Structure 1
Amino acid sequence: MTVKITTMKFAVSAALLLASLPTAALSDEIPDNLKGSGELVTTTGGGGAFDDARKKAWFEPFTRDTGIKVVIVPTDNAKLMTSVKVGQPEADLTFVSGGEVPSWINRGFVDKINYSYFSKETLAGIPEEARSEYSFRSNSYSVVPTYSTTKYPQGTKHPENWVDIYDVAKFPGKRALPNCGNTLYGGLLEGALLGDGVPPEKLYPLDFDRAFAKLKQIAPNVGRWWGWDEGGLAPQSLIDGEADMGSAWNGRILSLQKQGAPVALSWDQSLLQYDDWVVVKGSPNQENVAKFLAYIARPEAQAAFAEAIPYGVVNRDAYKLLPKELAENLPGAPSIAPKQITQDYAWWSEARPDGKTNLDYAVERCQAELAK
């Protein structure tokens, strides 16, 4: 699974994405209890359009409206954890995949979320599962079946779900699929099992034998294996002709569509995923962190983020502030949710008899199986 870098002809332009972004709430609309001074330190989100959206929708308006500076440091979880162990946390706030939260809690790397700065109206719009004791939902996104509209122009038959993506007789051509290092975030095994005909309601616990048998079967038809930090390569492979179909994160596809790129997606059997904010254990600016989370949880800030990049909102009241077309085309939106499958992070983090998690086992086996 070697990675070949391609020219990003349709690289996401922050200016294009954010030009029409609505201005977040004006200063006089911000409750006095959210204003302050000093700073908070948070980690990056992997760069590109995602970080551009966070800066424009959340970080910059928060500083403007509250007087609290947001300092961004590179994401390095190993380094961050080490800094916590020695009592000198290098960040106050970070966000991780919902599947990693239990591990961060169990290893003592996070403090409780302070919800005292959230207004009653804000809390009322947020589902309870999105605001737990040690984590607060950042955003949701999806791994979706995707395809090239050059290969499958509008009006022609195209792949619609994972069964189609894995059916090389019905849809010949190269695929773009997650690599072994992206087993969890790329939904590699879930896609393989759904592609092999497993009903969504019987997906978990995953059948490893069946999943890897299907992956070995499809491997000769894969033109691109993409990693968790190479999300742009999934749609780019469709643009460059390395692949005709496959999987990608919805935000990447929709953002490129907005620029006129020849890519499309289907929500059918898409895998719903989410990231959570966590407060770093012992960090010095936790009051400012609490104010920041309360600020971005408001419907206005949630809507601004969704307009910047098409990821799902946490506050349900944000849907009322979004254009109808966008509100109906976000992961987890009422019109899409029935077609989606929520990734079972709890199952992935379960320990096996040897002490390894299901994810540890899956990654090791993937590297051994697909290397053959």
Structure 2
Amino acid sequence: MPRVKGSHRRDTKIEIESHHRKNRGNKKLKSTTMKFALSASLLVSGIPAIAQAQQVSANLKGTGEIVVTTGGGGAFDEARQKAWFEPFTRDTGIKVVLVNASNAKLLTSLKVGQPEADMTFISGGEVPTWIEKGYVEKIDYSFYSKETLAGIPQDSRGEFSVRSHSYSVVPTYSTKKYPEGTKHPENWVDIYDSVKFPGKRALPNCGNTMYGGLLEGALMGDGVPPEKLYPLDFDRAFAKLKAIAPNVGRWWGWDEGGLATQSLIDGEADMGAAWNGRIANAKKEGAPVALSWNQSLVQYDDWVIVKNAVNKVNAAKFLAYIGRPEAQAAFAQAIPYGPANRDAFKLLPKELAENLPGGPGVAEKQVTQDYAWWTKPRADGRTNLDFAIERCRAILAR
């Protein structure tokens, strides 16, 4: 993630996560590589016919509005506007109003009983806390058609949240260092093998332990099978990270997703970990980078309707509308994220469908990050994430 992965990460910090959730803005890329920045207009200019006017069931039509938080601007918001917001208003008659409010600000408004927005999206890792704190309403699935629900996996539609899109932390490498046709890193085992693949790495820093997939990558790099990752073996993971540390040229933070790609372009690193959208878009613009889906880590964002939302019914209609395969496919064509509705892949060009998180030929190579394990409290009351960050900084000082 992202976003593109990284380009829409917003401030979603809530009180229990203040140690690792900072402003979701992006640091600017260096001027030497600005030519590789993907413009929002380029991303969304090719929105296909599937986003054009469509017949929708009468129960989705209405009047009034919904108020939705922005995603931080840029390509991500442009994609949502063209693939979801504008078509929803056109086909249902319900207006979408965007507010530039961080989720921290939104939560403050909830606590005084005056929510600034009806709905927002949050990382899947934050959903349990929002539910525990009573910040969200139940999702009304009665507005979804049977066909739409059939295409959305059960684990993507919870009682209080529903999947928006997925993204991945992927093994990545420089094609200047490893030109096409030559042996290159293909998985985390290769990324962590400094003998077979000498050179500098770009890896997430300690503050990005969970969202950067730092420990999962280290463990798979040490030979742990994906199906046996959780519970994570902290001792083994940090031993592997300590061993690879002298070969790391860039430690990047969760709000520095562009630096993972940047380091490959500038030669600061030859390989490493990055969010798939960053690499895909840089490559599309001609940057000498590539990725592998082998052992990639699936992450995701979910939609939630906030407690006491003024336009709760319209928000439920919106979620049912964008959950349809047509809307999901339009979004995936606008920006390289995996659709929540599996039937959307059938509507996408084969080349695109096979290069998205969860896509055909990709899903079986991936492992889904276990957010529930990361946020589980330990005996001392701290979460596994709290413990991991503290230990990481003590060992790596990164």
SS at match of 2:108: helix
1:169 to 179, 195, 203: 195
State yes or no: 1:283 paired with 2:283: no
Larger CA deviation: 208-217 vs 317-326: 208-217
SS at match of 1:268: coil
Change (3 A) 1:23 1:121: same
Match of 1:141 in 2: 167
User: Unpaired segments of 5 or more residues in structure 2?
Assistant: 1-26
1:151 to 172, 177, 185: 177
2:122 to 81, 93, 96: 96
Scaled by the length of structure 1, what TM-score is found? 0.94
Match of 1:341 in 2: 367
Aligned length: 370
2:326 to 300, 303, 310: 300
Change (3 A) 1:197 1:300: same
Cα distance in 1 for partners of 2:360, 2:300 equals 16
Match of 1:198 in 2: 224
Match of 2:68 in 1: 42
State yes or no: 1:365 paired with 2:394: no
1:252 to 278, 287, 311: 278
After superposition, where does 1:171-250 map in structure 2 within 5 Å?
Answer: 171-250=197-276
Match of 1:79 in 2: 105
The one-character-per-residue Cα deviations of 1:194-213 (angstroms, maximum 9, x if unpaired) are 11222222211111122122
State yes or no: 1:328 paired with 2:354: yes
SS at match of 2:163: strand
Cα distance in 1 for partners of 2:147, 2:227 equals 35
Larger CA deviation: 14-23 vs 42-51: 42-51
1:9 to 30, 35, 41: 35
Cα distance in 1 for partners of 2:214, 2:177 equals 23
Match of 2:150 in 1: 124
Question: Structure 2: which amino acid aligns with 1:232?
Answer: G
The one-character-per-residue Cα deviations of 1:158-203 (angstroms, maximum 9, x if unpaired) are 1111111111122122211112221111101111111122222221
Match of 2:381 in 1: 355
User: Unpaired segments of 5 or more residues in structure 1?
Assistant: none
State yes or no: 1:65 paired with 2:62: no
The one-character-per-residue Cα deviations of 1:237-282 (angstroms, maximum 9, x if unpaired) are 2112221111111111112222222110001110111111111111
The CA deviation at 1:132 is 1.3
Question: Structure 1: which amino acid aligns with 2:84?
Answer: W
Match of 1:55 in 2: 81
State the identity as a percent.
Answer: 76
The CA deviation at 1:28 is 5.3
The CA deviation at 1:75 is 4.9
Cα distance in 1 for partners of 2:79, 2:353 equals 17
Say whether the 8 Å CA contact 1:26–1:65 is kept in structure 2: no
The CA deviation at 1:78 is 2.4
Question: Structure 1: which amino acid aligns with 2:280?
Answer: L
Change (3 A) 1:10 1:331: same
Cα distance in 2 for partners of 1:47, 1:215 equals 35
Cα distance in 1 for partners of 2:278, 2:264 equals 12
Say whether the 8 Å CA contact 1:139–1:274 is kept in structure 2: yes
The CA deviation at 1:19 is 2.0
Scaled by the length of structure 2, what TM-score is found? 0.88
State yes or no: 1:108 paired with 2:134: yes
